[in-house]
Amino acid sequence: MNKILYIIPTIQRKSVYRTIQSIHDNDPNSTIVIASGGGVGDNRNTGLKMAIDEEFDWIGFIDDDDYYSPDYLKEFDDNYDIIIFKMNRNDEILPTDELIYGTVGISYFIKGSFYRYAFHRFDNKHAQDWRFLEKHLKRTDKVKITDSVYYNAPEYGGAVKYEKIH
């Protein structure tokens, strides 16, 4: 079984309990870092410090108002450096076959060994989750997009302009 680190930035929403439950229902031995108090990027970087210090097989990110669908662990495959979960965002299924800004969100996992090699950090600007992923996508072509939806973002409220990767 893979050793997975889940990083959850939070603004103390009650929905974080559903987020944690969706992880524990599938991965009861998981390591979860919940960080608050800074910007979203700072909070994610707090969790990434642990990813450097320990040998996690995978590093996942999820927001405190989102949750995973059952059986997502079957998608982990060491032949890939990045696994992007299809997500249901307000009844819109994303990403399509093309990875463009606005269609991925934070619905991805990065292989621990690849992260330790590439070692990018989050910033605190708008769309920092996309920029973090985009930097990693430029360093590998071993990317898997799941066929099934495993990431759910039911409370997403932002309007997003879609842009192709440069």
- What is the reported pLDDT for 102? 86
Do the Cβ atoms of 66 and 153 come closer than 8 Å? yes
| Residue 74: domain span | 4-164
Closest to 63 measured CA to CA, from 128, 16, 114: 16
Amino acid at 151: Y
Cα distance between residue 20 and residue 12, in whole Å: 13
Q: Which residues of the chain have a pLDDT value below 50?
A: 159-166
In this prediction, residue 161 carries a pLDDT of: 41
Note the pLDDT of residue 124.
93
CATH number at residue 63: 3.90.550.10
Per-residue pLDDT at 149: 97
When divided into structural domains, the chain yields a total of 1
Q: Looking at residue 77, what is its pLDDT? A: 97
